[in-house]
Amino acid sequence: MSDEYNVENKSGASWHLPAIIVLGLIAIGGLAFGWNASSKLDSTQQAVTAQVNSFKQGVEQDMSSLKDRIAQDEKTNTDLQGDLKVVTDKLKITQGQLKKARAEATAAVQDTTQKLTALDTSVHTELATKAATDDLKNVDTKVVGVRTDLDSTREDLKMARSEMGTLIARNHDEIDQLRRLGERDYIEFTIAGKNKPQKVGNLTVELKGVNEKRGQFSVAMTAEDRRLEKKNRSMNEPIFFYLSGTKIPEELVINKVGKDTVSGYVSVPKANAQSQSSASSSGK
C-alpha cells in the first residue's frame, strides 16, 4: 500500500513540472508579443503624428500663400480702379475739349456764313449802282477772290483741332491749306516697313507696328539724341515734342495707315526756327 502511494506521488510530480515550464514559456511569449505590439503601436503613432504635423505645416504654408495672393490681388484691384478713374477723368476732359472745339468751329462757320451773306448783299448793291463795265469787272474779280478766301477759311474750320489749338490735316489737300496759312512748315513723309528709321526734318521716325483694323500705330521718335516711343496711337492724333531752345511744340501726325506702312507729316512752327537761330547765336 505504501509503495503504491509513493508511485502515484512520483507520477504526479513528473507531470506538474513540464506543465509549469509550458505555462512559463507561454507567459514569456505573451509578454514578448505584447511588448512587440506596443513598440509597433508607438512607431505607428509617431509616424501618424509626424504626418499630421507635416500636413498641418503644409496647410499653414498654403494658407499663408493664399493670404499673400489675396492681398496682392486686392492691391492690384485697387491700382486698376485708380488707373480706371484717371482714364475716365482724362476721357471726360478730352470729351469736354472736343465739345468746346466743335462749338467754336460751328460758331466760326456761322459767323463766316453771315459775313459771306452780308458781302454778297453789299456787292450786289454795289453792282446795282455802278454802270461802268470796267468797274463791274473789278467788282466781279473782288467777289471771286473774297469768295475763294472765305471758302478756304470755311474748309479750314472743318478740320479738327488738337488740344494745343493746332489744325490737324487729314490728307495732302488739307496740308496744302495749312501751308497757305503761313504759320508752320509741313514736311510730309511715308514709311514703308517696320524698324527702318527715316529722317523727317529734324526728327528720326521708326515704325514699330501697325493695327490697320483699328487705325492704330506704334512709332519710335528720336530728336536731339532723345528717343521717345509712342504705342497704339490713333490716326490724326498729334504727337507733340519740344526741341531745345523752343517754346512752341512741334507735332507729328499720322493720317494714313496700311500694312506695315504709315503716312503723315511733321509740323514745325516758323517761330521755332527763329528761336533756334537766336539760341545758336547766343551760344557762339
pLDDT digits 0-9 by tens, 135-186: 556 655 655 555 555 555 545 456 777 667 788 888 999 989 888 988 889 9
Last residue within a domain, chosen from 142, 158, 174: 158
Cell representation of residue 249: 511744340
Clarify whether residues 278 and 226 are in a common domain. yes
In this model, does residue 93 exceed pLDDT 60? no
The one-character DSSP state at 195 is T
End-to-end CA distance of the chain: 156
* Number of domains present in the structure of the chain: 2
Q: Taking residues 29-39, report their average pLDDT.
A: 72
* Confidence band of 206 (pLDDT split at 50, 70, 90): very high
Residue pair 239/249 in contact (Cβ under 8 Å)? The answer is no
* Confidence band of 20 (pLDDT split at 50, 70, 90): confident
More confident: 200 or 10:
200
β-bridge mates for residue 209, sequence order: 218
Clarify whether residues 193 and 147 are in a common domain. no
Tell me the average pLDDT of the chain.
76
Does 274 fall in a domain?
yes
pLDDT of residue 7: 47
In this model, does residue 191 exceed pLDDT 80? yes
Does 1 fall in a domain?
no
Show Cβ contacts of residue 47 under 8 Å, excluding neighbours closer than 6 positions.
Answer: none
More confident: 216 or 136:
216
Does 174 fall in a domain?
no
Clarify whether residues 152 and 195 are in a common domain. no
Cell representation of residue 239: 504727337
Clarify whether residues 200 and 264 are in a common domain. yes
Clarify whether residues 199 and 121 are in a common domain. no
What is the spatial distance between Cα 211 and Cα 6, in angstroms, rounded to a whole number? 123
Task: Return the amino acid letter for 40.
Answer: K
Clarify whether residues 193 and 143 are in a common domain. no
Clarify whether residues 153 and 190 are in a common domain. no
Within the chain, residue ranges assigned H as helices are: 2-129, 133-158, 172-181, 270-283
Domain carrying residue 264? 182-283
Does 169 fall in a domain?
no
pLDDT of residue 9: 53
Clarify whether residues 151 and 195 are in a common domain. no
Last residue within a domain, chosen from 112, 142, 158: 158
In this model, does residue 263 exceed pLDDT 90? yes
Cell representation of residue 149: 478766301
In this model, does residue 196 exceed pLDDT 80? yes
Does 135 fall in a domain?
yes
Clarify whether residues 186 and 257 are in a common domain. yes
Does 62 fall in a domain?
no
Clarify whether residues 187 and 276 are in a common domain. yes
The tens digit of pLDDT for each residue in 59-89 reads 788 777 778 888 887 888 787 777 777 766 6
Which of 149, 164, 162 is closest to 112 using CA atoms? 149
* Confidence band of 192 (pLDDT split at 50, 70, 90): very high
Residue 134: count of CB within 10 angstroms of its CB: 8
Does 22 fall in a domain?
no
Clarify whether residues 150 and 90 are in a common domain. yes
More confident: 78 or 92:
78
In this model, does residue 242 exceed pLDDT 80? yes
More confident: 201 or 105:
201
Clarify whether residues 203 and 270 are in a common domain. yes
Last residue within a domain, chosen from 124, 158, 192: 158
Does 76 fall in a domain?
no
In this model, does residue 19 exceed pLDDT 70? yes
Largest CA distance in the chain: 192
pLDDT of residue 258: 93
